[in-house]
Amino acid sequence: KAGVTQTPRYLIKTRGQQVTLSCSPISGHRSVSWYQQTPGQGLQFLFEYFSETQRNKGNFPGRFSGRQFSNSRSEMNVSTLELGDSALYLCASSFPRDKPTDTQYFGPGTRLTVL
Amino acid sequence: GDSVTQMEGPVTLSEEACLTINCTYTATGYPSLFWYVQYPGEGLQLLLKATKADDKGSNKGFEATYRKETTSFHLEKGSVQVSDSAVYFCALLPVAGSARQLTFGSGTQLTVLP
């Protein structure tokens, strides 16, 4: 069974630009969560989508947004990029039973560098 | 709010040494607890988990026991290998509601020398 896939794996952008990252969950998983990983702040929760609806959101500015499609694939968008947005962005998907204890399985991440 | 405190790293061990990485948490109720591992240049891989008090999670020689009385979930391995070199993250998932928001510790870098 294929794991969580994320594209692209690496991105280089300049300040002020916008970027879209993509995540394909494990087949059959309906919940997708996004996390930002930086050396200074560690791993921080961005948002979670389930059945095309944002169910939970972390403490990030409105420049960070996301969506989920009917096939459970998800995208996140960052507008007006800042240097501090440079990070590894990780996507995780959860088993379809949708219980709170369901394990989240992570993708390899997208490394975003903002110059 | 919920929080996870991990032992500061980095940790350097010789092959076949014993490993303990401390993890304590603050949360209401009985959260689920996880250990994830991150190898260089990769995402997070689930190492083990425990969903209720006194549960022991185990995988690949690693173990951790959910201790409600001490709010701890320490990771242990009796004999580490060079291939265990990675960053280890302790995390919790709240039970209340349907939130999938994992709260992570700061991570512990482990280096195992041959």
On whether the CB atoms of residues B26 and B40 are closer than 8 A, the answer is no
Of A43, A56, A103, the CB nearest to B104: A43
Q: Measure CA of the first residue to CA of the last residue in chain B; give whole Å.
A: 41
Confidence of residue B9 (pLDDT cuts 50, 70, 90): confident
Q: Which of B44, B66, B93, B106 should be substituted to probe chain A, the one whose Cβ sees the most A Cβ atoms within 10 Å?
A: B44
Residues of B in contact with A43 (CB under 8 A): 89, 91, 102, 104, 107
In Å, what is the CA distance from B64 to each residue of A42, B17, B20?
22, 17, 10
The CA angle A90-A91-A94, to the nearest 5 degrees, is 140
Phi, then psi, of A74 in degrees rounded to 5: -130, 150
Dist CA B4 CA B30 (whole Å): 14
Dist CA B114 CA B107 (whole Å): 23
Q: What is the pLDDT of residues B63-102, one digit of tens each?
A: 999 999 999 999 999 999 999 999 999 999 887 665 678 9
pLDDT in tens, chain A (115 residues): 679 999 999 999 999 999 999 999 999 898 899 999 999 899 999 999 988 999 889 999 999 999 999 999 999 999 999 999 999 999 999 875 666 667 889 999 999 999 9
On whether the CB atoms of residues B4 and B23 are closer than 8 A, the answer is yes
- Look up residue B78 and give its DSSP letter: S
Helix, strand or coil, per DSSP, at residue A77: strand
Does the CB of A36 have a partner CB in chain B at under 8 Å?
no
Q: What is the pLDDT of residue B107?
A: 95
In Å, what is the CA distance from B67 to each residue of A100, B25, B49?
20, 10, 13
User: Å from A88 to nearest chain B CA?
Assistant: 9
Q: What is the pLDDT of residue A98?
A: 60
Whose tokens are 């916008």? That residue is A18
Residues of A in contact with B44 (CB under 8 A): 90, 92, 106
Is B102 close to A45, i.e. CB distance below 8 A?
yes
pLDDT beyond 90 at B1: no
On whether the CB atoms of residues B46 and B34 are closer than 8 A, the answer is yes
Dist CA B82 CA B103 (whole Å): 28
